[in-house]
C-alpha cells in the first residue's frame, strides 16, 4: 500500500508541475491576446485534459486496483490540491480567505471547480477507459 501511495503522490507532483506550466502559459500567451472570459476556460479545459492524460498514461505503473483504490487516489489528489492551493495562496501569495474562495467560483469563465472534479475522478475515469474496473 505504501508503494501505491508514493506512486500516487509522484503522479500528483507531475500534475502540479503541469498545472503551474498551464497557468504560466495562460498568463504569458493566452491573456495578452484574448479576454479572461476566454483564456480561463481554455486553460481549465487544457489542464483537465492533461490531468486525464496523466492518469490514463500512468495507470499501468500504478498497478491493478479495485474501484475503491482508484477513488482513494483521486480523493488524495483532490486533498493535496486543496491543501496546496489554500496554503500557497494564503502563506506565499498573502491572499485573503475571500480571495482564495473566489477562485472556486465560475466567475469570468473560471473552470477551476470542474478541474477539481477532474482531479478527483481522473483515476477512476482512466481505469474505466483502460478497462481496469
Q: Looking at residue 120, what is its pLDDT?
A: 98
User: What is the pTM for the complete model shown?
Assistant: 0.92
Task: Say how far apart CA 119 and CA 64 lie, in whole Å.
Answer: 19
User: Per-residue pLDDT averaged across 82-94, rounded?
Assistant: 93
Query: Is pLDDT at 63 greater than 90 in this prediction?
Result: no
User: Per-residue pLDDT averaged across 1-27, rounded?
Assistant: 96
Q: Looking at residue 109, what is its pLDDT?
A: 86
Q: Domain locations in the chain?
A: 2-129
User: Per-residue pLDDT averaged across 42-68, rounded?
Assistant: 95
- Average pLDDT in the chain: 94
Task: Say how far apart CA 122 and CA 28 lie, in whole Å.
Answer: 27
Q: Looking at residue 30, what is its pLDDT?
A: 94
Q: Looking at residue 115, what is its pLDDT?
A: 97
Task: Return left, alpha or beta for 66; rule: phi > 0 is left, psi -120 to 50 is alpha, else beta.
Answer: beta
User: Per-residue pLDDT averaged across 50-75, rounded?
Assistant: 95
Amino acid at each position: 500500500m505504501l508503494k501505491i501511495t508514493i506512486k500516487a503522490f509522484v503522479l500528483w507532483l507531475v500534475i502540479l508541475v503541469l498545472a503551474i506550466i498551464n497557468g504560466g502559459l495562460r498568463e504569458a500567451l493566452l491573456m495578452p491576446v484574448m479576454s479572461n472570459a476566454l483564456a480561463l476556460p481554455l486553460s481549465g479545459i487544457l489542464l483537465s485534459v492533461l490531468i486525464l492524460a496523466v492518469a490514463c498514461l500512468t495507470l499501468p505503473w500504478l498497478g491493478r486496483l479495485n474501484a475503491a483504490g482508484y477513488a482513494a487516489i483521486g480523493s488524495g489528489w483532490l486533498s493535496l490540491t486543496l491543501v496546496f492551493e489554500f496554503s500557497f495562496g494564503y502563506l506565499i501569495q498573502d491572499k485573503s480567505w475571500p480571495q482564495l474562495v473566489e477562485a472556486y467560483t465560475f466567475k469570468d469563465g473560471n473552470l477551476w471547480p470542474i478541474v477539481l472534479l477532474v482531479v478527483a475522478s481522473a483515476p477512476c475515469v482512466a481505469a474505466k477507459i483502460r478497462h481496469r474496473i
